Amino acid sequence: MRFAPVVLALPAMAAAQQQVPLLEQAKGWFNNFVGAATSSVNSASSAAASAASGVPNPVHAAAGQVEQLTVTDFTKENYNQVLKPGAATASPGIEDWMIYTTGGNRTCFGMCARADVEWSKAVSLLSAVPSAPQLGRLDCEKEPQLCNAWGAGAPSVIYMQLPQPLPDQTTPATTVYYLPLNRTTVTAQDIVELATEKAFKEKTPYEGFFHPFNGMLAQTGLAIPFGWVVYGFSVMPSWALMIGISFFSRTFIMGPQGGAAARPAAPAGRTQ
């Protein structure tokens, strides 16, 4: 009977021994929870800082967690409808467009491959930028008439700032920058910085003959017809062009002489 208390205490001791592992497990769960919460807060802080600076978050961009920006393919049929100064999407008062021009063997001599790859990367990076411009693409191999009308070369970026109409319904001039890209050294970051760092402002805005909105061709409605003319000369064989020039010059120079020689002489003794 003296051992009865000891015997009765054995179950309690066993239960206490079983509580030790449970306590350790609880500590482990708590530590894991704290670590996960800290990691989540740090990730959110990093994303917020990235968004505030306007620089793409490389983690999100690589993971594909941002929606890819739409790239509009420009043609001679749709550019007037797409590029309208004063679009409703303009905010605040200016709608920025960044149009990439490319080409093939005939218009880019087969040297636009690197720029095409870097442009695709730049689109993904710009998709993570809250204030990214509208994006467009102009293929001079498929749309040579429009490229000729704009005087655009490949590869390059045409950066446009389309204003909204003023209260009196007049529309300010559209600012256009022509930005050639180096075919061998261009990088996606170079293209991204044109928008994020406003690097396009380092160049002088274009105000000449080929301006898509304010140039003489655009104002007179002759932009696309001019593009067709230039395209026609570009595809014409050199021998045909030389024959045409020779025929025209021969007719222009010899025509009046031929006309004078063919006129019949007046009879002797008669005055005219």
Query: What's the rounded mean pLDDT across residues 63-88?
Result: 80
Residue 106 has pLDDT above 80, yes or no: yes
Task: Give residue 140's pLDDT.
Answer: 95
Q: What is the pLDDT of residues 2-43, one digit of tens each?
A: 444 444 444 444 444 444 454 555 455 555 554 554 544 454
Of residues 229 and 172, more confidence is placed in 229
Of residues 85 and 233, more confidence is placed in 233
Strand (E) positions, the chain? 71-73, 94-102, 134-139, 156-163, 175-180
Q: What is the pLDDT of residues 183-236, one digit of tens each?
A: 999 999 999 999 999 999 999 999 999 999 999 999 999 999 999 999 988 877
Residue 161 has pLDDT above 80, yes or no: yes
pTM: 0.66
| Nearest Cα to Cα of residue 138 among 123, 160, 124, 153 | 153
Query: What's the rounded mean pLDDT across residues 110-126?
Result: 95
Residue 175 has pLDDT above 90, yes or no: yes
- Nearest-angstrom CA–CA distance, 173 and 171: 7
The amino acid at 49: A
CA 254 to chain CA centroid, nearest Å: 54
CATH class as words, domain 71-231:
alpha beta
Give the number of other CB atoms < 10 A from CB of residue 118: 21
The domain segmentation of the chain, as residue ranges, is 71-231
**Collapsed DSSP state (helix, strand, coil) of residue 167:** coil
Residue 174 phi, psi (nearest 5): -85, 130
